[in-house]
Amino acid sequence: MAGLWRKAPSPCIGICKRPEGGPCVGCGLTKAEKKSFKRRRKKPERKALFRLALERLEAMGKRARFEHVYRRRCAKKERPCPLDKL
């Protein structure tokens, strides 16, 4: 399923608010991590980034909202959702 991860849309869901320069409250990624997403083409790299983002979102209490919006985004782009494989 490497194609699933290679074609996965960015975790960014268009909120982009980073209090005090920390991770985004929408996707759970820092600015540098978000920029590096396209360069991370291999499955383990992208999978690790998604897991990190989901851990942060869970700690912020925003994981459920992220998953709902991200799944909708994947469906709109007609791509399988990588969250199903974590």
* E strand or H helix at 68: helix 63-76
* Rounded Cα–Cα distance for residues 57 and 24 (Å): 9
Would you state the structure tokens that stand for residue 27, as one six-digit string? 């996707």
Q: Whole domain around residue 40: which residue ranges?
A: 2-85
Write down the pLDDT at residue 59. Answer: 96
Residue 68 pLDDT exceeds 80: yes
The average pLDDT across 11-30 equals 92
Write down the pLDDT at residue 41. Answer: 85
Write down the pLDDT at residue 20. Answer: 86
Averaged pLDDT score across all residues of the chain? 92
Domain total of the chain: 1
> Do 68 and 59 contact (CB within 8 A), yes or no?
no
Residue 38 pLDDT exceeds 90: no
The average pLDDT across 53-57 equals 97
Write down the pLDDT at residue 2. Answer: 59
Would you state the structure tokens that stand for residue 6, as one six-digit string? 């290679």
Which has the closest alpha carbon to 22: 14, 30, 32? 30
